[in-house]
Amino acid sequence: MTRTRAAFTVVAASLLAIALAGAVEAGNISPRESTADLSLAAPGNQRTDTDDATSTTEQVAKEPLRGKVVVIDPGHQLGNSRHTDQINRLVDAGGFQKPCNATGTATNRGFPESTFTWRVSLVLKRQLQARGATVYLTRRTNSYDDWGPCIDVRGRKGNRVDADAVVSVHGDGASSTVRGFFVIRPGLRRGWTDDILKPSRRLALDVHRGLLASGTRVSNSYGGDGYDVRTDLGTLNWSNVPIVMVELGNMRNAIDARHMTTPRYRAHVYARGLRAGVSTFVTR
Ligand SMILES: [Zn+2]
């Protein structure tokens, strides 16, 4: 009896996981909505003792990311521009020296990249936590009083908490005709990124798909496919767990700037797209 029930629970949970993975990939069905469908479709519904199984399925449905650890790196820090000595200090970026951090870009009206990445990251954090994930940010503030952390510290954060995935959030500062997002994954640096190349590529594909499904568009630059590979980014090089960096839009483009300064767009398009991509990756 116990064994039967356990088996049913496992089957139900597996079915749910499959349904959820599909839903997340499609990017337009919330786990809660999919629960109702699944409980109807699940075998053994006529059983009289499904209560335990049902509550387990509901728990999985509510928190499909329970046990998963995600690190979000909100690019830059508001006070970097006021702490140039500190952020220009050279650090090891993966076998070569690079400044600790950069000031980041801004819209033409002066909305800073660090504030954009901070706000998207906070929304994304809440969305992931609501689904049961444990989420860490690489910085605790968005303040003119603070600077950093340096790229090596950001890159090591995922290793320290044994993250299932790391997403570094940025906004681009390209020429004004460039618009759209692109996903940057680590390229090969022997002794540094060998171990994370393949999973980071899968993470890049999932995040790319998630962002497209949420309604944003691929960059018309950087090759036009919405992907880039870099070997010169300390944040990526230091990671021993799957990692990508995303440039969600070009802050110097009028349309992207409008989207990037709109709370609804940040939550429902950028954060939601990232959440869908990361969720798919970590539950695969
Ligand atoms: Zn940036």
Query: In terms of domains, do 87 and 207 share one?
Result: yes
Separation of 14 CA from ligand 1 center, angstroms? 39
Between the CA atoms of 146, 151, 154 and 156, what dihedral angle is there, to the nearest 10 degrees?
-140
Domain end (from 10, 30, 62): 62
The CATH number of residue 217's host domain is: 3.40.630.40
* 30 vs 86, residue with greater confidence: 86
The confidence band for 35, taking pLDDT boundaries of 50, 70 and 90, is: very low
Instruction: State the pLDDT at residue 30.
Output: 35
25 included as an active-site residue: no
33-37, 97-101, 255-259: least confident range: 33-37
Instruction: State the pLDDT at residue 57.
Output: 73
Query: In terms of domains, do 144 and 183 share one?
Result: yes
* Rg, C-alpha atoms of the chain: 20
Separation of 171 CA from ligand 1 center, angstroms? 5
Domain end (from 62, 81, 106): 62
Query: In terms of domains, do 80 and 217 share one?
Result: yes
* 5 vs 93, residue with greater confidence: 93
Domain end (from 12, 37, 62): 62
Amino acid at 116: F
The confidence band for 11, taking pLDDT boundaries of 50, 70 and 90, is: very low
pLDDT in tens, 220-271: 999 999 999 999 999 999 999 999 999 999 999 999 999 999 999 999 999 9
pLDDT in tens, 111-165: 999 999 999 999 999 999 999 999 999 999 999 999 999 999 999 999 999 999 9
The confidence band for 53, taking pLDDT boundaries of 50, 70 and 90, is: low
Separation of 191 CA from ligand 1 center, angstroms? 25
Query: In terms of domains, do 192 and 221 share one?
Result: yes
> Alpha carbon of 241 to those of 70, 81, 111, 170, 229: distances in Å?
10, 30, 32, 19, 16
| Mean pLDDT to the nearest integer, 101-113 | 98
Query: In terms of domains, do 112 and 22 share one?
Result: no
pLDDT in tens, 37-49: 333 333 333 334 4
Query: In terms of domains, do 40 and 96 share one?
Result: no
pLDDT in tens, 152-211: 999 999 999 999 999 999 999 999 999 999 999 999 999 999 999 999 999 999 999 999
For the chain, the domain total comes to 2
Query: In terms of domains, do 128 and 173 share one?
Result: yes
Mean pLDDT across the chain, nearest whole number? 86
Separation of 117 CA from ligand 1 center, angstroms? 8
Query: In terms of domains, do 243 and 215 share one?
Result: yes
Query: In terms of domains, do 147 and 272 share one?
Result: yes
Query: In terms of domains, do 26 and 145 share one?
Result: no
Query: In terms of domains, do 247 and 278 share one?
Result: yes
* 3-state per-residue secondary structure call for the chain: CHHHHHHHHHHHHHHHHHHHHHHHHHCCCCHHHHHHHHHHHCCCCCCCCCHHHHHHHHHHHHCCCCCCEEEEEECCCHHHHHCHHHHHCEEECCCCEEECCCCCCECCCCCEHHHHHHHHHHHHHHHHHHCCCEEEECCCCCCCCCCCCCHHHHHHHHHHCCCCEEEEEEEECCCCCCCCEEEEEECCCCCCCHHHHHHHHHHHHHHHHHHHHCCCCECCCCCCCCEEEECCCHHHHCCCCCEEEEEEEECCCHHHHHHHCCHHHHHHHHHHHHHHHHHHHHHC
Boundaries of domain holding 104: 69-283
Separation of 38 CA from ligand 1 center, angstroms? 41
Separation of 186 CA from ligand 1 center, angstroms? 16
Contacts of 205 (CB under 8 A, 6+ apart): none
Separation of 23 CA from ligand 1 center, angstroms? 31
Query: In terms of domains, do 134 and 269 share one?
Result: yes
Instruction: State the pLDDT at residue 61.
Output: 78
